[in-house]
Amino acid sequence: MWDSKRAWRSFRALSSLLICLSLLVGARTGAFAAEAESLVAPIGGESSLAVVSPVVPEGQSANEARLVVATEVLTAGKLTALNLSSVARSAYLVKKAKTRNGARSVGKLLAAENYGWTGKQWTCLDKLWIKESQWTYTSHNKRTGAHGIPQAYPATKYEFMGSDWRKNPVTQILWGMKYIDVRYGTPCKALNTFYRIKMY
């Protein structure tokens, strides 16, 4: 029989463990203070995001050690500290990306990690999505039906990246970057198209 009290205690214990792991990774890397200064300048009065990066253990490649953003929690497979840390990091990024400045900071991190879009390419992506949505994941164009940070049309296109797109700005960001990569190759080419025809 289902014991709701025991299930709640287990959930609270797992949540506490995830928070502790997230803090442990941050403490080991010293990333909080160092990275906070290098993040995107705020649009308004919201605070910027400090992103936790992992330490690469000996004998393990950087790709294996990097905590990859997951839009859905792992439900099967071997439970490891790396998996738990990945879930904790994902939850942290999703929460921060629900503000405009947090979304910009998460976007900057994911653009660099996943596509190598830094410098000019990051600037183009930032300008494009400021024009489209001000980096607001709830942004909705009533006339066209375009929705979210990259203004997907129709919004159901986000389903390719995750079914949680209505409430998860990271899903929207990842979909938008994939769209730009496949269709244009770079954010600057997408921005040039936007300047020319007011869409991309």
Query: pLDDT, tens digit, for every residue of 114-166?
Result: 999 999 999 999 999 999 999 999 999 999 999 999 999 999 999 999 899 99
Task: Write down the residue that tokens 């790396």 correspond to.
Answer: 82
Confidence at residue 87, expressed as pLDDT on a 0 to 100 scale: 83
Structure tokens at 192: 């040039």
Neighbours of 89 (CB within 10 A): 24
CA distance 126 to 105: 10
User: Cα–Cα distance between 38 and 49 in angstroms, integer?
Assistant: 10
Low-confidence ranges of the chain (pLDDT < 70): 1-83
What whole-number distance in Å separates Cα of residue 166 and Cα of residue 114?
A: 22
pLDDT of residue 85: 78
- Cα–Cα distances in Å, from 104 out to 9, 89, 131? 35, 16, 13
Q: What is the rounded CA–CA span in Å between residue 10 and residue 1?
A: 16
pLDDT number for residue 192: 98
Q: What is the pLDDT of residue 32?
A: 36
For residue 72, what pLDDT is reported?
41
pTM for the predicted model, two decimal places: 0.63
